[in-house]
Amino acid sequence: PAVRLPACIDGGRRVLLGQSHEVFARHGFGDVLSWQPVSAPGRRRKMFFDGEETLAVLIASPSDVDDLIPMLVAFQIEWNKIHTLLSGVSPDDEEAIEAHFERAAGARHEAPLARLRTIWGDQVGARLRRMARWRKRFAVRMLGGSLVDYERATLRWWWNIEDSLRGLRLRERPVYFVSSNTHSLINLLSGFALRNTEELLGFIREREHAGLLAEYEKIIAEQVPSSIENFFYYVQKKYQADPASARLFARRAEEERELGIHRVPSRFYVDVDAQVIEIGRLDPARIDPRLRPELGERLRASDALILNIDYPLGLAGYHILKIVARSVGKLLGVYVVGKAATLNGKIGDVLIPNEVYDEHTGNSYTFQPCFVAADVEPYLAYGSVLDNQKAVTSRGTFLQNAAFLEACYRDFFTDVEMEGGPYLNAIYEHTFAQRYPEGATVSFLRPPFDIGLLHYASDTPYSKGHNLGSRNLSYFGMDPTYATSLAVARRILRQEEERMAS
């Protein structure tokens, strides 16, 4: 939980959960937006700290509660265990605290201090001193929490997109819905990084990124199977954090507008950024060369849009897709790309499910996915593609204990994720004239549009400590990310080509 909670949690005692700033205001916390914005490296969520002891957290669905409460409980338990371990040592003597902790915790764990340093860096000493000073006891208060509150927050998230892009007439135009991330699809469709390779290479040379330079030379010498395009997309993301990159990224924003690519950051509600892409304005000369054959002349007359959103957590996906489906002219496809735990593969593999069991509702969904292994394999350098997988939508990562995983594996479920079920519940309501059922078996024999779920394995629960975060060259995480994004982009462009031809 340490990387999924903000650092200010050390001094926090009270945690407030609400769906929007209006909900906080109704309960006497009207100035929450003036508090200090805080974040956690391992979880995307809007949070504000009052500078004393109160953390306000904006939540988008009950999945946020299922995610947050176990983390707070685990953090409090571990904090108090360390507090007990350090009893009798002066909280002001950092050296003595670290030595005592290493000696006492080392009886049960290998190199405990080194493990904490990989998470907290140079803050280990300061955090251990705080743990030695006091016991932790959180108080959590839910503000609002009704279904209406969640739907209202999601609706206002959508209104922000509509208001920001009034000229696009979202309510009248056909839309391909993609749930993925905020970088890969746009990078592929704009190709901006590939037109600025000299500046990106200059960045890694000046900053002495030895690992990246070595990787670049191996790619050029064809000593590794990595993609040169993916390499530059990765470097571009690293470069964006450098103040010297401001001019380049201002130019990128201009070029994206020319290509009909519009970014809409989330504001006060659901913490999910969105991008709207006008297919008819994409330029074959600028697009990633791997997509160039799909961008035919006929697509210049397309009125279709791609709505790409940053992967939401759990049940938020249901609320988002439900509101999008009823607000746009026509939904042409739903494509979901995201991380998952694999029970039969390895990190970096891509999983294509055709069956999903949703723990929230007890529903089992079967469908014919629009993707097959051959759609992804040509672009995957390091992993394998496993299709015809059975996925289970879990309530939360902390609830995936050994017994749960063993039960999944016995029933041939090999793909554990958090969003498939909620999205399929929304698709059910788009297909049938009733609310989604519970405990039912649903087969989408003739879905109203394309359905495709692509999961890349970021975690192998049967292998302790093995996930994409434990191998800090997240470059390897780019391989399945771009392989799946390429498959989605190619599918959309081909589908739109067929639609325009008919």
Of the chain, the percentage scoring pLDDT greater than 70 comes to: 96
- Partnered with residue 342 across adjacent β-strands are 415
pLDDT tens digits, one per residue of 44-58: 889 999 999 999 999
222: which 2 tokens? Answer: 């064809």
List Cα–Cα distances, 130 to 5, 38, 74, 133, in angstroms.
Answer: 16, 19, 17, 5
Does 467 lie in the same domain as 412? yes
Sheet containing 43-49: order of strands: 36-40, 43-49, 54-58, 14-18, 139-142
- Partnered with residue 358 across adjacent β-strands are 363, 393
**Three-state DSSP class for 269?**
coil
**Three-state DSSP class for 273?**
coil
Confidence of residue 468 (pLDDT cuts 50, 70, 90): very low
Does 471 lie in the same domain as 326? yes
| Per-residue pLDDT at 472 exceeds 70 | no
Q: Where are the beta strands (DSSP E) in 196-304?
A: 261-264, 274-278
Phi/psi for 149 (5° steps) reads -60, -45
CB atoms within 10 A of CB 241: 7
Does 430 lie in the same domain as 293? yes
Does 291 lie in the same domain as 184? yes
| Per-residue pLDDT at 400 exceeds 60 | yes
| Per-residue pLDDT at 273 exceeds 50 | yes
> Looking at 96, 126, 142, which one is the last position of a domain?
142
| Per-residue pLDDT at 481 exceeds 90 | yes
Confidence of residue 466 (pLDDT cuts 50, 70, 90): low
Q: What's the CA gap between 256 and 253, in Å, rounded?
A: 5
Confidence of residue 1 (pLDDT cuts 50, 70, 90): low
- Nearest partner of 193 among 238, 140, 229, 246, judged by Cα: 229
Give me the amino acid identity at 268: F
> Looking at 142, 158, 187, which one is the last position of a domain?
142
Range with the poorest average pLDDT among 156-160, 418-422, 459-463: 459-463
CA–centroid distance for 164 within its chain: 23
> Under a CB-based contact definition with an 8 Å cutoff, are residues 421 and 455 in contact?
no
pLDDT tens digits, one per residue of 202-228: 999 987 788 899 999 999 999 999 999
- Partnered with residue 26 across adjacent β-strands are none
pLDDT reported for residue 123: 87
Q: Where are the beta strands (DSSP E) in 10-138?
A: 14-18, 36-40, 43-49, 54-58
Does 420 lie in the same domain as 327? yes
**Three-state DSSP class for 113?**
helix
Q: What's the CA gap between 423 and 397, in Å, rounded?
A: 18
Q: What's the CA gap between 121 and 130, in Å, rounded?
A: 16
Does 173 lie in the same domain as 109? no
Q: What's the CA gap between 68 and 46, in Å, rounded?
A: 13
Confidence of residue 94 (pLDDT cuts 50, 70, 90): confident
Q: What's the CA gap between 160 and 320, in Å, rounded?
A: 13
Residue 299 belongs to domain with CATH number: 3.40.50.1580
The DSSP 8-state label assigned to residue 9 in this structure reads G
| Per-residue pLDDT at 246 exceeds 90 | yes
Does 80 lie in the same domain as 164? no
Does 215 lie in the same domain as 115? no
> Looking at 127, 142, 157, which one is the last position of a domain?
142
Average pLDDT (233-239) is: 94
pLDDT reported for residue 107: 66
Q: Which residue has the higher pLDDT, 475 or 466?
A: 475
pLDDT tens digits, one per residue of 7-32: 999 999 999 999 988 899 999 998 88
- The domain in which residue 60 lies consists of 2-142
When divided into structural domains, the chain yields a total of 2
Q: What's the CA gap between 165 and 172, in Å, rounded?
A: 13
